[in-house]
Structure 1
Amino acid sequence: MATSLKFSSKPKPQATPNTLPPWQVLIVDDDAAVHQVTKLVMRGFEFSGRNIEFISAYNAEDAKQILQANPDIAMTLLDVVMESNDAGLQLTRWIREELGNLNIRIVLRTGQPGQAPEEKVIRDFDINDYKEKTELTHAKLVTVFYGGLRGYRDIIKLERARQALRRAISAISSVYDVQNLREFASAVLDQLNDLLNFNGDGLCASLSESYTASSNEGHLKILAATDAYSELHIDSNIDTLPSQVKAAINKALEEKQHHFNDFSVTCYYRSKVGSETVVYLSFDNKLESEGRELLEIFTANVAITYESLLLRDEIEETQKSTIYILGEAVEKRSKETGAHVKRVGEIAALLGRGLALPERYINDLLQAAPLHDIGKIGIPDDILNKPGKFEPEEWEIMKQHAFLGYELLASSDKRILQLAAVIAHQHHEKWDGSGYPQGLSGENIDMAGRISALADVVDALVSKRCYKESWPLADALDYVKSQRGIHFDPALIDVLFANLDKLDDIYQRYPDAPGAP
């Protein structure tokens, strides 16, 4: 499990109180005098720091329109007898059943109690109070308003807490689904934004600035940033951050704990092996206690994901390095450039993205394709490094490397090595069926085999070999294009030529092929 998280207990500076919106109360009565008297009697009334805003309707149809347009009405004082003897009762049923508003507090008022007996109304209708108009003195109205508004306030708090918990669970789940540390950083920023971006009770309605930084070998670098700081480059040093952000991050690193202020939060994560990540966010609005509670729930759970991701990243990097070492060992044995295996993996991944294959499969291609020629480890040196053309019997031996590679890798039950076994076995198959070792054709060749075949040939042509000089990239591209539908899957040729800028980028990053641009 991740190291337990600690939160700063230092008091928050006091902020200027927010001006709270009034409670909306709807009066529904066909007697204008009732509206006037109610407003007069309740003038100056406040509850929980908020005054009253009255809205008037004189019949049920007007009330329906007002309720549909104003879902935040807290309470209604509703006459029973208006355009019909049960207009108020029918409106009550409409509010609860058709409008689906279960939050508004409904207080029925009647001047004719015989028309709607109290016991029957309370039993049959979802109301919160029932009063005769003769009872509504100032003292009793105040009691009704306190009871109704207090009930509405508590319902809204529970509803917001329920929604917040749902958002927190969704946010945590979204972070759990990420595949690497950089995705984790972006997901944390996105989900914290969603988590806090709702109105009510002074909680943060907008997230204006945020950063995620990671401490790696003593140097903090940016992993992700919001649009407000789009000029920052990923992996930029912390020195590029504004002074107040640097100060907040350094404080969290020094004290190794989260810090919450009225308008910002700095979250601190540390793994068992000492890796540290800090998330800094600043807000336009004040962070109230509800938002802080959500952040604590979220960050405590995210810490577990963070620990797991670091372990996963370490395992994947070790696996990738091992694969490159094995592939490069074979390349060096055949006196070929070591970066060939990396470029084949990168080109394979490029083709996979162009086909919109699943991201996990693309990542597997990136790691598996470099092992395409691992079977050459079983080919004698005099054949492997022969500068001239093979004799027929030598060529038969050389072709065995496809099956040898498959046999070597297929014994593993690991997903990537299983894919590498397919690639080793099929990367010399051809679309028209003239390849080896099985003479497969078309879609009978596994997609990984087809992709790796094109990636291998492109880079082999621009790389120097013991039996040939390197080709210019333009000539290599002309050749593979001429083999569209013969050697290579036509769809893959189209993808390659639609992404020549990305192919060029691969050669810029791994530039040891003499024919590379």
Structure 2
Amino acid sequence: MNSFLFTDEDFSHESNPEVEADKWHILIVDDEEDIHQVTRLVLADFKFENKALHFHHAYSAAEAKQLLGAQNDISVGLIDVVMENNHAGLELVHFIRHDIANLDIRLILRTGQPGEAPEEAVIRDYDINDYKNKTELTAVKLKTLLYSALRSHRDIKTIERHKSGLERIINASSSFLKCDSVREFASTILEHVTDVMGIHDSEIYCAAAVNSQTQSATDFKLLAASGVDVEPHNNDIPQNVKNLFIETHNRKTSSKTENEYVGYFPTQGGVETMLYVSKQSRLQATDCQLLEFFANNIALAYDNLRLRETVKESQKELSYILGEAVEKRSKETGSHVKRVAHYSELLAQLVGLNHYEAEIIKLASPLHDVGKISIPDRILNKPGRLDAEEWTIMQSHAQIGYEILRNSQNEILQCGANIAHQHHEKWDGSGYPQGLIGEQIDIVGRITALADVFDALGSDRCYKPAWPIDQIVSLIISEKGKHFDPILVELFIANIDKFIKIKEAYPD
């Protein structure tokens, strides 16, 4: 070998702090300096998919192990068999595949002493991708070998990225299903776009919008955008992104450029979801494929969220309508049930119930007096004190309300049944209809009892005028541990200003 050609160069410890990320990393492991130099010379101008090679050099298996511990992006390893011992290369292969569990790197054994490691036995017993005698590796064959190895590595990494991306999409989709509001849904989109693509959030700009498939293109509603606190009807995003949403609506198909992606996904409900993502660097094909899956899940999740919100609103309206119908029979305003709903929700939150449980109580509490629908008007609207017989009939509304609602499979109506049945029970056991004591009374009954009394005392009734707030508070304090759950009373007193704000927000 004409070694004088390389006497002025030493590639043993190459140092380049700004190695480009878009290069293929190749590891050469051989104890012969000439092999390193010739390999580098032959492959100097080699490119695959417009990416050049970056070489890493190790002169023993031990040195290679150390290098592999610090470098995790090597695509191909060209490994000599015989180095510090006759099987050093084979031991290195075992280390790579088993000790550090690197199954991605393509391993090519090269040997100048084939007798030390018979080809068939090595290929059978070791997880390698090719085995070559150094004497048969001409420049053309070495390049051919590297093309094949890099294609294999590229495909493995592509599959890995797809697998990882799809796992992240599944995780993101489960997060979407937990969202209870469009605002929460929007923040979840932003949170997961970068995660799905596996990049830092500073590298991309993201915006998501929805529109009706039949509405004007300019009527889109912004769901989420990087750096924007989205409010209803606030489309405060760059003009070029607005234009792309408009074009996408009119074209009704996804599109992409080198740095931008706009996904279009219509749903059976007549809504279209559009996702815009721009990346500082070039968007890979894998990026766009993952974004297609992700954006499609956004569309389906948003459709489900709208349906859930519609159902929730319908249930809330139904609860209010039924509650208001009863209140009108007793010549009370519909604002009573709305105030009780909000008082109950606040108490539920203060006592530590989760958001979902508090929401259920809010939707169910307007049904607390639904049993009064069976009470005669002469009793319901009597301006004076009820006699014993009338009071017995009036008390029956708790049991009747329970009977009306108890057989429903709907979670809100089941909660409403408990509330109707127990909101006149008292902590000390002196309430009706069952005379329950303390925590025998369901928390929903204890909460609504306090909310109902607070509002009833502060409202005009056919049998009394509204009480002033300080008088109501004094009575509730005096009934702590008697009529009301002591803990709820303490929370109520500590947060009285919040209850007064609700009262003022829903006047009669």
CA distance in 2, matches of 1:282, 1:105: 33
Q: Does 1:490 align with 2:491?
A: no
Deviation string 1:463-495 (CA, Å, 9 cap, x unpaired) is 222233333445534543443333222333344
Of the structure 1 ranges 212-221 and 70-79, higher mean CA displacement relative to structure 2 is found in 212-221
Change in CA separation of 1:261 and 1:435 when aligned onto 2, cut-off 3 Å: farther
5+ unaligned residues in a row in structure 1: which ranges?
A: 1-18
Give the deviation of 1:277 after TM superposition: 5.1
What amino acid does structure 2 have at the position aligned with 1:212?
Answer: A
Q: Does 1:130 align with 2:131?
A: yes
1:416-495 correspondence runs (5 A): 416-495=412-491
Give the deviation of 1:27 after TM superposition: 1.8
- Given that residues 59 and 83 in structure 1 are in contact (C-alpha distance below 8 angstroms), is that contact kept between their aligned partners in structure 2? yes
Change in CA separation of 1:459 and 1:279 when aligned onto 2, cut-off 3 Å: farther
CA distance in 1, matches of 2:343, 2:158: 54
1:348 to 328, 334, 344: 344
Change in CA separation of 1:56 and 1:171 when aligned onto 2, cut-off 3 Å: same
- Given that residues 28 and 58 in structure 1 are in contact (C-alpha distance below 8 angstroms), is that contact kept between their aligned partners in structure 2? yes
Give the deviation of 1:135 after TM superposition: 3.3
- Given that residues 431 and 488 in structure 1 are in contact (C-alpha distance below 8 angstroms), is that contact kept between their aligned partners in structure 2? yes
1:375 to 365, 371, 377: 371
Secondary structure at the residue paired with 1:26?
strand
Change in CA separation of 1:48 and 1:316 when aligned onto 2, cut-off 3 Å: same
Aligned residue in 2 for 1:146: 147
CA distance in 2, matches of 1:462, 1:444: 28
Change in CA separation of 1:80 and 1:508 when aligned onto 2, cut-off 3 Å: farther
CA distance in 1, matches of 2:276, 2:472: 49
Change in CA separation of 1:241 and 1:497 when aligned onto 2, cut-off 3 Å: farther
Q: Does 1:225 align with 2:221?
A: no
Q: Does 1:121 align with 2:118?
A: no
Give the deviation of 1:389 after TM superposition: 3.1
Deviation string 1:362-395 (CA, Å, 9 cap, x unpaired) is 3321211100011112222232223333333332
Give the deviation of 1:220 after TM superposition: 4.9
Give the deviation of 1:268 after TM superposition: 4.6
Query: How many residue pairs get matched?
Result: 487
- Given that residues 185 and 212 in structure 1 are in contact (C-alpha distance below 8 angstroms), is that contact kept between their aligned partners in structure 2? no
Give the deviation of 1:61 after TM superposition: 2.6
- Given that residues 323 and 367 in structure 1 are in contact (C-alpha distance below 8 angstroms), is that contact kept between their aligned partners in structure 2? yes
Of the structure 1 ranges 396-405 and 460-469, higher mean CA displacement relative to structure 2 is found in 460-469
Aligned residue in 1 for 2:283: 287
Secondary structure at the residue paired with 2:74?
coil
Aligned residue in 2 for 1:207: 204
Of the structure 1 ranges 71-80 and 346-355, higher mean CA displacement relative to structure 2 is found in 346-355
Give the deviation of 1:206 after TM superposition: 3.5
- Given that residues 197 and 206 in structure 1 are in contact (C-alpha distance below 8 angstroms), is that contact kept between their aligned partners in structure 2? no
Deviation string 1:113-144 (CA, Å, 9 cap, x unpaired) is 22222221111111112223333443333233
Give the deviation of 1:171 after TM superposition: 3.3
Change in CA separation of 1:262 and 1:48 when aligned onto 2, cut-off 3 Å: closer
**TM-score normalised by the chain length of structure 1:** 0.84
5+ unaligned residues in a row in structure 2: which ranges?
A: 1-19
Q: Does 1:336 align with 2:332?
A: yes
**TM-score normalised by the chain length of structure 2:** 0.85
What amino acid does structure 2 have at the position aligned with 1:229?
Answer: V
Of the structure 1 ranges 214-223 and 243-252, higher mean CA displacement relative to structure 2 is found in 214-223
CA distance in 2, matches of 1:485, 1:223: 51
Change in CA separation of 1:212 and 1:487 when aligned onto 2, cut-off 3 Å: farther
CA distance in 1, matches of 2:397, 2:80: 90
1:45-56 correspondence runs (5 A): 45-56=46-57
- Given that residues 27 and 55 in structure 1 are in contact (C-alpha distance below 8 angstroms), is that contact kept between their aligned partners in structure 2? yes
- Given that residues 210 and 271 in structure 2 are in contact (C-alpha distance below 8 angstroms), is that contact kept between their aligned partners in structure 1? no
Q: Does 1:400 align with 2:399?
A: no
- Given that residues 258 and 266 in structure 1 are in contact (C-alpha distance below 8 angstroms), is that contact kept between their aligned partners in structure 2? yes
1:298-337 correspondence runs (5 A): 298-337=294-333
Aligned residue in 2 for 1:9: none
Aligned residue in 1 for 2:64: 63
- Given that residues 27 and 76 in structure 1 are in contact (C-alpha distance below 8 angstroms), is that contact kept between their aligned partners in structure 2? yes
C-alpha RMSD of matched pairs (Å): 3.1
Give the deviation of 1:502 after TM superposition: 4.8
CA distance in 2, matches of 1:145, 1:257: 39
CA distance in 2, matches of 1:260, 1:36: 43
